[in-house]
Amino acid sequence: MIELARRALDKGLQWNERAADAASNGFDWLFRRSELVLSGLTDHEVIFEGDPMSVRYYSLDGVAHIDLADGGTLPVQKIKHPVPLVLVPPLGVTTETFDLMPNRSLVRHMAACGFQVYLVCWGVPERRHATLGMADYADRMMGQALQAVRNHSGSQEVSLMGWCMGGLLALLHAGLEGTQGIRNIVTVASPIDMRGGGLVAGVAQAINTPARLIRKYSDFSIYALNPQTLHAPGWVTSLAFKLTDPVGSVTTYWDLLTKLWDRGFVESHSTTSDYLNNMLSYPVGMVQDLVAKMAVGNQFAKGEFKLGQKMVRFKNIKAPMLVFAGETDVLVQASAARGILDLVDSRDTSFETAPGGHMGVILGAQAQGVVWARSANWLAQRSGANSARSGLRRKGPRSDAGKKMALRSQ
């Protein structure tokens, strides 16, 4: 009887503490939410600043270890790999994409793994930037960013890692005539084949049918539209992303209510919500190029097309490539992402599926132990001063791009 009473008392005290914590967290969430948002806290140096693009450098100088999402820690390697790593986020998102939280920061993770980490920040597009198109981002701005990285690091070779449109921009730049110095490429959920499945491919196919009819019976071109008059605010991007999972957008607030006592969960929820609620406008010039080159022509899947005054040929890409797709990604299915490996001239290629949807595969809690860890190990083997001549490039036939490696064992 005494033991039963003691357990009841302990349980009551636990619930009392949780109620107090829930009240405190709820007050902060309602009135001091900015204190719960933990994104973009990693120290960095801006090494290039343009309009609107800039480049950041992350070093972790003086840091002994970083915290991980699972509660563990990762020691910071002091000896850096000779080849720097350039992270390329997609358009339409803030610079906090790869520095979402202190214990879920891709820039911290890669810097801790011994990489000289640089981040391309696409900036905050305004109406005056509405005419920026694919050539501006993939050729001009990517070229400026990589030159700044080369000047700062002293290395003429760089590795690129991009998520979604970021990976696509990296591929477009690497495939341009005359591009040199790309040592390795990692893409995560980057669509190539618009007939390969997923919501993005489905929308592209839906646009393709009426577009062909319009093109057949009229001389109308999407480029005839004035980008500046079609400029939309960032909340349109946020709404479009949330509509891909409308149920999940609502149920996350139920999760918040039931876990309001958990400070860590409230901080994570608040940070993610702030990220999703503050997406950026998408330059209309880029939208025009995506519709014309991807949705209608599916030109990327053909591997050769004109970009501005230059040609992009994916067969120009000879760098080792690691391509990821999310297992539950409804936007970009695996078949749409892996198509790039059939178009490049790389001998060292791998394709893997990883846990998570379009966002979770790169930013979710499991991304650290899967996509980040696997990418860090893969890049480390190929980022030495002599790794390009050390036999890491396979001399035989290209590896089976459809083979799923044992990620969870890494």
Contact 103, 69 (CB under 8 A): yes
CA distances from 194 to 135, 205, 286 (A): 20, 7, 17
Based on its alpha-carbon atoms, the radius of gyration of the chain, rounded to whole angstroms, reads 23
Write the CA distances from 141 to 54, 78, 147, 173, 347, integer angstroms. 9, 31, 10, 10, 28
SS3 assignment, position 330: coil
Please tell me the predicted confidence (pLDDT) of residue 231.
79
Q: Where are the beta strands (DSSP E) in 142-216?
A: 158-163, 182-188
Mean pLDDT value of segment 177-203: 83
Map residue 341 onto helix, strand or coil: helix
Query: What whole-number distance in Å separates Cα of residue 99 and Cα of residue 125?
Result: 20
Q: What is the pLDDT of residue 146?
A: 98
Sign of CA dihedral 18, 23, 28, 29: positive
pLDDT at residue 21 is higher than 90: no
Indicate the average pLDDT of the chain: 85
Q: Is the C-alpha dihedral spanning 118, 87, 181, 390 positive or negative?
A: positive
What pLDDT is recorded for position 266? 86
pLDDT of residue 397: 37
Residues 6+ apart with CB under 8 A from 79: 114
pLDDT score for 406? 37
What per-residue confidence (pLDDT) applies to 98?
Answer: 97
- Taking only the tens place, the pLDDT of each residue in 343-375 is 999 999 999 999 999 999 999 889 999 999 999
In this structure, are residues 337 and 401 in contact, taking their beta carbons and an 8 Å threshold? no
Fold of the 39-194+302-409 domain: Rossmann fold (3.40.50)
Q: How far apart are the first and last CA of the chain?
A: 50
pTM to 2 decimal places: 0.86
Instruction: Say how far apart CA 101 and CA 106 lie, in whole Å.
Output: 9
On whether the CB atoms of residues 336 and 193 are closer than 8 A, the answer is yes
Helices (H), 291-393: 299-302, 334-337, 360-363, 373-381
* C-alpha span between 50 and 391 (Å, rounded): 39
User: CB of 187 within 8 A of CB of 323?
Assistant: yes
- H helices of 46-164, where? 106-112, 134-135, 142-153
Q: For residues 87 and 162, is the Cβ–Cβ distance under 8 A?
A: yes
For residue 143, pLDDT beyond 90: yes
Is 263 strand, coil or helix?
helix
Sequence-distant (6+) residues with CB within 8 A of 182 are: 157, 158, 159, 160, 173, 174, 317, 319
User: For 373-390, how does the pLDDT look when each residue is reduced to its tens digit (9 = 90+)?
Assistant: 999 999 999 999 865 443
Q: How far apart are CA 378 and CA 398, in angstroms?
A: 16
Q: 117-121 and 85-88 as β-strands: parallel, antiparallel, unpaired?
A: parallel
Host H or E run for residue 208? helix 199-217
CB 336 within 8 A of CB 200: yes
- Angle among Cα 251, 206, 170 to the nearest 5 degrees reads 75
Nearest to 237 by CA among 165, 139, 308, 301: 165
Residue 395 has pLDDT above 70, yes or no: no
